[in-house]
Amino acid sequence: MKKTPPAKNISEYLKSVPPGMRPVLRQLRATIRAAAPDAEEGISYRIPVFKLHGPLVFFAAFEDHCSLFVPSKALVASFKKELKGYHAVGATIHFTPDHPLPSSLVRKIVRARIALNMGRASRGKR
């Protein structure tokens, strides 16, 4: 069986996911981009990542769901009420195309990650 090479960028990644997952992931990408316009897009661990003074969030499509990976279990836990109705475990939030994460919540999560990363970066410069 021939393995497909990893995507070189998020656009390539999105072309490789099942068609039913693409619209929700395109919207997620746009929401993250709007919340973090200075973030760098990339691929890490074979999935999309946004970075600004370190990773902000990752996302991926799977056979029956999508995931938003937030490199902070504590941050995900702090959104417990807003994540009611979603499967959130540790630093991972699962959702489906028919029950996507609200853009307002994604913006809050991304902005909180920016604040964490900026705080870490400023402490490192002292």
Using one digit for the tens of pLDDT, what is the confidence trace for 65-100? 999 999 999 999 999 999 999 999 999 999 999 999
User: Does the residue 2 lie in any domain?
Assistant: no
Q: Which CATH number characterizes residue 89's domain?
A: 3.90.1150.200
Quote the tokens at residue 22. Answer: 């693409």
User: Does the residue 113 lie in any domain?
Assistant: yes
Sheet arrangement for strand 40-44: 40-44, 47-51, 55-61, 66-69, 92-95, 87-89
Using one digit for the tens of pLDDT, what is the confidence trace for 46-69? 999 999 999 999 999 999 999 999
Neighbours of 110 (CB within 10 A): 23
User: Does the residue 3 lie in any domain?
Assistant: no
Question: Which residues constitute the domain of residue 91?
Answer: 10-125
Full-model pTM: 0.91
Domain count, the chain: 1
